[in-house]
Amino acid sequence: MNDPKISVIIPVYKVEKYLRQCLNSVINQTLESLEIIIIDEGEQDICREIIDEFEALDVRIRAIHEGNGGYGLSVNRGIDLATGQYIAIVESDDWIENDTFEKLYEIASKKDAEVVKANFHNYYENEPCLCYLREILPVNSYGKLFSAEDNKSIFFTMNSVWSAIYKKEFLDKNNIRFSKIPKASFVDVSFTFKVWACSKKVYLLKDGFVHYRLDNENASVKNSGQVFCVCDEYKEIEKFLEQNSEKKELFEDVLFKLKYSDYLWNFKRVANKYKKEFAKQMAFEFKNDLKNKNVNKTLFTEAQWREYNFIANHPNIFWLKYQLTKNF
């Protein structure tokens, strides 16, 4: 294939119910200049047959059958293999509008953008009243090129690596890949941070193209046993900033605020039996950051800053208070 405009990477894991809908939506794109790289994580289910069927049907599809190294390693493999000008990631339980890549590529090439990102639709198979456009992007940033240095609010939008396209050259030049920890979850945290920290030309679209499935019981976010993966992601971000002193100066304040928000989200997400242990981990890291690093409170509200310090100093009371007052 000669210079595809977009390489679409589709990691596949336990999605036999949804895979056909996903692949049909990709092969029927109005932009035909695509390279479709399916990374099959090798589960013993019917996905392999579906992938073989689509591979025989469409010459643009290239399937890689790998062991289950997890989402991050699969996408990294896809990025390394990709020959397209831009990279897109499509989750194999989601589906996308037919003109998704035409619209995203049109803007990307016209503006020479490093990242073009759109909103997305919540999707429930049998509940149309819960399907709607989720506007997660900062409303004052549509329709113009900007850098994260100019507009730090982009860091605080919900991670959704699959509602964007990324210039391949930009990812390679800045060595941006997902965490290499096998079977890790939430690997989009450090990937997204690195993308924003390195980008000079971001373009946001108000429209939504991806239909983000929320009724997949196998979704990793529903695995309340993956307790400390999010901490590994922040270690990766800290390592990245240590290696880039210019970025550290610009974005370390973002790191501390994001860490607080994501850790709190994770604390609420994990099963009850892990919450106390995770509260202690939060305290350990927050206290360490307060003592040894230049934690800047400017991105926190007063209430958030109080809570941050409270967790750092009194994790057991924080945990108990949460347990006693949640939903009460």
Partner 1 sequence: MDDFLDFFNSSKAQRQIDKLAKKYKGKKIMLYGAGLYALTLIKNHDLSKLNVLGIADKRFATDNSEGVFAGLKTFAPDELFELDLDAIFLSVQEFNLLKDIIVNTIAKKHKNKNIKVLPIIKKSFWHNIIEIIED
What is the closest distance, in whole angstroms, from the C-beta atom of residue 55 to partner 1 in the complex? 35
Q: Does 317 bind partner 1 (CB under 8 A)?
A: no
What is the closest distance, in whole angstroms, from the C-beta atom of residue 268 to partner 1 in the complex? 7
Which of these, 116, 78, 113, 84, lies nearest to 210 by C-alpha position?
Answer: 116
Which residue from 272, 292, 298, 301 is in contact with partner 1, where contact means CB under 8 A?
272
What is the closest distance, in whole angstroms, from the C-beta atom of residue 151 to partner 1 in the complex? 21
Find the binding residues for partner 1 in span 11-70 (CB under 8 A).
none
Binding characters for partner 1, 76-115, by CB under 8 A (x = yes): ----------------------------------------
Which residue from 1, 46, 57, 130 is in contact with partner 1, where contact means CB under 8 A?
130
Q: Does 135 bind partner 1 (CB under 8 A)?
A: yes
Which residue from 64, 136, 181, 214 is in contact with partner 1, where contact means CB under 8 A?
214
Contact yes or no for 158/212 (Cβ under 8 A) = no
Neighbour-count burial of 306, counting CB atoms closer than 10 A to its CB (0-12 exposed, 13-18 middle, 19+ buried): exposed
Neighbour-count burial of 319, counting CB atoms closer than 10 A to its CB (0-12 exposed, 13-18 middle, 19+ buried): buried
Which residue from 273, 284, 294, 316 is in contact with partner 1, where contact means CB under 8 A?
273
Q: Does 1 bind partner 1 (CB under 8 A)?
A: no
Burial string for 166-190 (b: 16+ CB within 10 Å, else e) reads bbbebbeebebbbbebeebbbbbbb
Q: Does 129 bind partner 1 (CB under 8 A)?
A: yes
Structure tokens at 71: 């989402």
Integer-rounded Cα radius of gyration of the chain:
20
Sign of CA dihedral 262, 293, 173, 142: positive
> 194 vs 275, which CB is nearer to partner 1?
275
Which of these, 81, 82, 83, 77, lies nearest to 41 by C-alpha position?
Answer: 77
Structure tokens at 233: 């992601």
> 95 vs 274, which CB is nearer to partner 1?
274
Whole-angstrom CA distances from 142 to 7, 116, 118 are: 25, 11, 9
Q: Does 301 bind partner 1 (CB under 8 A)?
A: no
Q: Does 169 bind partner 1 (CB under 8 A)?
A: no
3-state secondary structure of 89: strand
Q: Does 306 bind partner 1 (CB under 8 A)?
A: no
> 44 vs 126, which CB is nearer to partner 1?
126
Binding site for partner 1 (CB under 8 A): 124, 127, 129-130, 132-133, 135, 214, 268, 272-273, 275, 320, 323-328
